[in-house]
Structure 1
Amino acid sequence: MADKELNLVDHLDELRKRLIISAGAFLVFFIVGFIFVKDIYQWFVRDLDVKLIVLGPSDIVWVYFTLAGVIALAGSIPVLALQIWLFVKPALKPIEQKISLSYIPGLFILFLLGLCFGYFIIFPLVLSFLVELSGEMMATNFTAEKYFRFVMNMTLPFGILFELPVVVMFLTSLGIINPVTLKKVRKYAYFILVIVAALITPPDLVTEILVAIPLFLLYEISISLSGVIYKRKLKKEKEWEENNQYEMLDEN
């Protein structure tokens, strides 16, 4: 009983260490983002025909913290992924350690691709739809807080959703899921993705379809990648077991 309690304490200490490192990385990238926040702001508003307005000093602070927070989130993803890998590493086989470590760059790249997809493709479509909806009935003025909240709603969900293939590959390499399971729950996954598409887009059927189709493709790509990883996992585990058997025979 004492050994179990000691083991639990060691795990909690290790988890605390990993969380502190991740939080420290987030803080460092947040400071960097805050230093360059004016340049980031100017890049976001470069194509706007109107000048953003603020309704109070707190709006300025909110915009600064939001932009710096996004930079911090993107920059700290590889660090967080590495810390998670280091935490679970002792429980993984050597083969699983090598495979799972290779996914860390993919998490960062896919997150950036998701942000780019949301900002350069979905965001202009939705924004133009909403502006045209007002027609000549209303004057088009945006507050900085509302505008950047809208930008974040159109980009961050895609940054997270684009991580799906790598997450599926990682879970498959650990043996938690497999392509057979993913195919069985496909219809439920599609239903959830349709709901996600409806939540992050205006009530326009065309826009919802344009958002849902890439999400469906992501899921299908995840299934295919899971199949590849699953086959490799079975093959390498078989080779590993055979090598261990040969070593045991040699020792005897």
Structure 2
Amino acid sequence: MRNPNDQSALEHLEEMRTRIIRTLVAFVVAMAAALLYVRDIYEWLVRDMDRPLVLLGPSDVMWVYMMIAGCIAVAVTLPVAAYQTWKFVEPALPDRARRPALLLIPAIGVLFVAGVGFGYFVLFPMVLQFMQNMAAGSFETMYTAQKYFTFMIHMTVPFGFLFEMPAIVMFLTKLGIVNPVRMAKARKMAYFALVILAVTITPPDIMSDIIVIVPLFLLYEISITISKVVYRKQLRLANADSGSSLAPQD
């Protein structure tokens, strides 16, 4: 069997094209499956609305359904894309990073769903309620379907990617790109960036900020802890290898 490292640049590009096509096929299949049940999903997403959403044009309903199906397809396709990426870069990875990278693939899907769930069940209703309270008594509220779901996506999908932080840190630690010492030194800057992010996406009240800031800080601390575990294990393996190489030979 030919060594993948011996492939030419053209062969690498061909393999990349193949894996991109497989990922796109998975996305299309997942989106088609989501479209079969998109009306039921829509009804579940608007179950708490006390009035129907408004459509301003005949194409708006298609936009809403496509956005719902697209978000579901992204969540389903993300592990597939991670696996295809892993298969493409596997020959270039050091042996110590191959198995952890493979084990991260299901974690990527779980973390993404957890992040979206946090945004949908915690952040989105909190911000929506705040906006409704601001408008109460002064405005007649009438939500269009397009505006409502655009707002929902902005409050949920970014957290799906933010929750990937522990998995990414674990992998980068395995590669030696980051380590817990560097992350600990960068804690103040990281906290500052996370606070700016939280304040930007939440209503201007301290409780809303805290509800979002605390999980983001916890994610960073969990990432540091994971990096420590991986880093210490790598040091033990390195010390064991150096000790065995210095041991006297019979």
Specify if TM > 0.5: yes
Aligned to 1:48: 49
Residue 203 in structure 1 maps to residue 237 in structure 2: no
- 2:183 & 2:28 partners in 1: Cα distance? 37
Indicate the residue corresponding to 1:214 in structure 2.
215
Could you give the per-residue CA deviations for residues 144-198 of structure 1, whole angstroms, max 9, x where no partner exists?
1111111111111111101111111011111111111111211221122122213
Structure-1 separation of matches of 2:40 and 2:172: 39
Deviation at 1:238, TM superposition (A): 4.3
Task: Indicate whether 1:67 and 2:91 are aligned.
Answer: no
Which segments of 5 or more consecutive residues in structure 1 lack a partner in the other structure? none
What residue number does 1:110 align with? 111
Instruction: After superposing the two structures, state which structure 1 stretch, 23-32 or 233-242, moved more.
Output: 233-242
Report the alpha carbon displacement of residue 31 of structure 1 after superposing the two structures with TM: 0.9
CA displacement at 1:130 relative to structure 2: 0.7
Q: 1:82/1:238 Cα in 2 relative to 1: closer, same or farther (>3 Å)? A: farther
In 1, Cα distance between the equivalents of 2:133 and 2:20? 46
Q: Which runs of 5+ in 2 are unaligned?
A: none
CA distance in 1 between counterparts of 2:88 and 2:231 reads 23
Asked if 1 retains the 8 angstrom alpha-carbon contact of 2:96 and 2:174, the reply is: no
What are the within-5 Å matches in structure 2 for residues 111-130 of structure 1? Answer: 111-130=112-131
Q: 1:100 matched to which residue of 2?
A: 101
User: Which residue of the partner structure matches residue 174 of structure 1?
Assistant: 175
* Identity percentage of aligned residues: 48
* Residue number in structure 2 paired with 1:17: 18
Inter-partner Cα distance in structure 2 for 1:212 and 1:177: 23
CA contact (8 A) 1:95 1:236 kept: no
Which shifted more, 154-163 or 182-191? 182-191
The C-alpha deviation readout for 1:112-139, integer Å capped at 9, x for no partner, is: 1111111111111111111011121112
**Aligned partners of 1:138, 1:212: CA distance in 2, in Å?**
31
The amino acid across from 2:164 in the alignment is E
- Provide the rounded CA distance (Å) in 1 between the counterparts of 2:193 and 2:12: 35
Residue 66 of structure 1 aligns with an amino acid whose one-letter code is M
Contact 1:22 1:80 in 2 (8 A): yes
| 1:32 CA displacement | 0.9
Report the equivalent of 2:88. 87
Aligned to 2:31: 30
Amino acid at match of 1:81: A
Which string of whole-angstrom CA distances, capped at 9 and with x for unpartnered residues, describes residues 188-218 of structure 1?
2112212221332233343223212211111
**Contact 1:63/1:148 (CA < 8 Å) preserved in 2?**
yes
Quick one: distance in 1 between partners of 2:228 and 2:36?
44
The separation in 2 between residues aligned to 1:80 and 1:106, in whole angstroms, is 13
Larger mean CA deviation between 233-242 and 96-105 belongs to 233-242
- The residue type paired with residue 40 of structure 1 is I
Range with greater deviation from structure 2 (119-128 or 197-206) = 197-206
In 2, the alpha carbon distance for the partners of 1:233 and 1:84 equals 24
Task: Give, in angstroms, the shift of residue 97 of structure 1.
Answer: 0.8
Q: Do structure 1's residue 152 and structure 2's residue 139 form an aligned pair?
A: no
Distance 1:242 1:12, change over 3 A: farther
| Residue 239 of structure 1, CA deviation | 4.3
Question: Deviations for 1:73-125, whole angstroms, at most 9, x for unmatched residues?
Answer: 00001101111111111112333111111111111111111111111111111
How many Å separate the matches in 2 of 1:63 and 1:239? 57
Corresponding residue number in structure 1 for 2:192 = 191
| CA–CA distance in structure 2, aligned partners of residues 5 and 224 of structure 1 | 38
**Counterpart secondary structure, 1:49:** coil
Give the Cα separation in 1 of the matches to 2:98 and 2:240: 16
